[in-house]
Structure 1
Amino acid sequence: MAFRLSNNLIGILNAITFLLSVPVLAAGIWLGVRGDGTECERYLTGPIIAIGVLLMVISIAGLVGACCRVTWLLWVYLVAMFVVIVVLLGFIVFAFVVTNKGAGEAVSGRGFKEYRLGDYSNWLQKRVENDGNWNRIRSCLQSSKVCKSLQEKRESWDEFIRTDLSPIESGCCKPPSSCGFTYVNSTQWTPGGANSSSDPDCNTWGNDASALCYGCSSCKAGVVATLKKDWKRTAIVSIVFLVFIVIVYSVGCCAFRNNRRDNHNRGGYNKQGGYA
């Protein structure tokens, strides 16, 4: 009875996992073959396909090992699951550590916050300050047109300062408030003012839609702030997933033990009469 229960349960769980892996893998392949895909989508193609293939291979190993009583395959499945548990646990701890520091700063009289790269963890700072990484991120931001919604608005100054901008919109689509630029529209500003040279980002800003503040430190800070928020959400979801994986792993251990016991009883050696 224990054999039936544990093996059937692990089979059902892995059948569900296999079905979930199919749309994940299909989405990754679809993003890769799209002719009009953005740089962001192409950047995600590899990881999505890898996750889909990993889920599919592990679920097939667990499904065949449990339902067909293939002990060695079930052993491989348990080793793979253990590695996934360790990696997932490491990611959760790492995500909370690197996202512990940093927050947006409220600006007097503004409805949005502004972000400084130096407020965040050194690891995140180094990742976005790396030229190779930032060139890909910048290309992704430009191709996805994150500032397009602001460019299409024709707000007055009073309306603009009450706008709740996202970290990337605040850091990449407008110059820092410390520059003292004169507002024309959401993405058009006239340089000038007493504080115009106090921040290096003031000289980096450009009114051209392909430039704006994509090269600014504030833009990098906005990206890091967004990553921090997304990573924390991902870490919380990962905790739930980790609990599920641990339960599946425990059931798999029971199925593995029962497989060995069943194989031993059917073909093992007994003390009274040699091989059964």
Structure 2
Amino acid sequence: MATKTSAATAWRILYTLVIIGSLIPVFVSGYNLIDTIILFVHGDPDCTHPHLERDLGFAIFAFVLFLIGVIGVVARVDVIQAICMIVLLITVVLLLAVTMIITAGPQELFGLNHSDDGKKIVSVFRLEKYPRWAKNFILNDKDWGVFQACVVREKFCEKLDIDALFQEGCCSPPVYCGYQDINKTWVVPKSGLYHEDNNCVNWSNDDNKRCYHCNACKAAYINNYVYEWALRGAFMFITLVIWFGCLTFTFDIDDENNKREDNKLCSP
């Protein structure tokens, strides 16, 4: 009798841990949903979330999906858990596949690439490395215009706590341009190998222009966009692993309960 009681207690503790584990994604996605709603209502002061309407839609989708999944775990409805896992698996595959395809070009995100003409530029800032379809989708006139308006309105380059990639790609001319910093003003070089390059020609000391039209800025914008979605994919993959564990334990608990019922029926 004592052995059966100990086993039952162990299963209850295990089941409680399963429920707590399944609640973690709900709390995280709920926090992300609230944060996204706040940004959507009040605006993004750092301009690092250029597609808030999409972020909000995804946050709602993730929260609802995780909530339904928890209901399936708590109620021990295997069908609900299985359906949620299938939807989650499809979402993870799509997110990670798309981000991997987009970033397949710039593989050395923080290294120096050397092209045939000897030009050096950090690969993450090379716009030509990204697929044409990705550039057309992410850099469409509406979204790119919203971002440019945001960086001017929020005095983007004056903030030191924003994404370093954005600052490096959008707020200063690339090193290879040869600009000279004199009293916090970049002076155009008299000559240079790349003085006619897009990133050099479009640079301006005007706070409303800077390098916001540069290919380096566009590339940094794409990189940040893809990075955000890659993080979502990674989080959902972790959730998928947690759910798989929950579903496995749920099956084990059901099997154990079924065995107990069978033993009771078979007992004289």
> Normalising by the residue count of structure 2, what TM-score does the alignment of the two structures yield?
0.65
Tell me, which stretches of 5 or more residues in structure 2 are unaligned? 1-7, 115-120, 262-268
Q: Superposition RMSD on alpha carbons, in Å?
A: 4.3
Separation (CA, whole Å) in 1 of partners of 2:113 and 2:45:
33
Q: What are the Cα deviations for residues 48-103 of structure 1, in whole angstroms up to 9, with x where unaligned?
A: 5445433443344344444445x4xx523421221111221332233233213224
In structure 2, the partner of 1:137 is: 147
In structure 2, the partner of 1:75 is: 79
Candidates 101, 105, 108, aligned match of 2:105: 101
Q: What are the Cα deviations for residues 171-210 of structure 1, in whole angstroms up to 9, with x where unaligned?
A: 3223345555443344x23335134752244442222101
CA apart distance, 1:247: 4.4
1:24–1:48 CA contact under 8 A, matched in 2? no
Separation (CA, whole Å) in 2 of partners of 1:190 and 1:85:
52
Separation (CA, whole Å) in 1 of partners of 2:49 and 2:68:
30
Q: What are the Cα deviations for residues 222-269 of structure 1, in whole angstroms up to 9, with x where unaligned?
A: 3345556x369738x81x752551342353266379779989xx9xxx
CA apart distance, 1:220: 1.6
Of 20-29 and 211-220, deviating more is: 20-29
Candidates 64, 86, 92, aligned match of 1:88: 92
Separation (CA, whole Å) in 2 of partners of 1:58 and 1:200:
45
Separation (CA, whole Å) in 2 of partners of 1:145 and 1:66:
47
In structure 1, the partner of 2:68 is: 61
In structure 2, the partner of 1:174 is: 172
Q: What are the Cα deviations for residues 105-158 of structure 1, in whole angstroms up to 9, with x where unaligned?
A: 379xxxx958332234444444454322322332343345342158xxxxxxxx
In structure 2, the partner of 1:160 is: none
- Aligned pair in 2 of structure 1 residues 10, 61: CA closer, same or farther (>3 Å)? farther
One-letter amino acid of the counterpart of residue 93, structure 2: L
Candidates 212, 215, 218, aligned match of 1:214: 212
In structure 2, the partner of 1:22 is: 30
CA apart distance, 1:215: 0.7
Separation (CA, whole Å) in 2 of partners of 1:216 and 1:63:
46
Separation (CA, whole Å) in 1 of partners of 2:172 and 2:17:
55
One-letter amino acid of the counterpart of residue 35, structure 2: A
Q: Identity, % of aligned pairs?
A: 23
- Aligned pair in 2 of structure 1 residues 21, 147: CA closer, same or farther (>3 Å)? closer
Separation (CA, whole Å) in 2 of partners of 1:87 and 1:176:
37
1:28–1:46 CA contact under 8 A, matched in 2? no
In structure 1, the partner of 2:190 is: 193
State the secondary structure of the residue aligned to 1:40: coil
1:11–1:62 CA contact under 8 A, matched in 2? no
> Normalising by the residue count of structure 1, what TM-score does the alignment of the two structures yield?
0.63
State the secondary structure of the residue aligned to 2:47: helix
In structure 2, the partner of 1:252 is: 247
- Aligned pair in 2 of structure 1 residues 3, 31: CA closer, same or farther (>3 Å)? same
One-letter amino acid of the counterpart of residue 251, structure 1: C
In structure 2, the partner of 1:184 is: 182
Separation (CA, whole Å) in 2 of partners of 1:50 and 1:255:
31
- Aligned pair in 2 of structure 1 residues 197, 12: CA closer, same or farther (>3 Å)? closer
One-letter amino acid of the counterpart of residue 85, structure 1: L
State the secondary structure of the residue aligned to 1:189: strand
Tell me, which stretches of 5 or more residues in structure 1 are unaligned? 151-164, 267-276
Candidates 202, 221, 224, aligned match of 1:223: 221
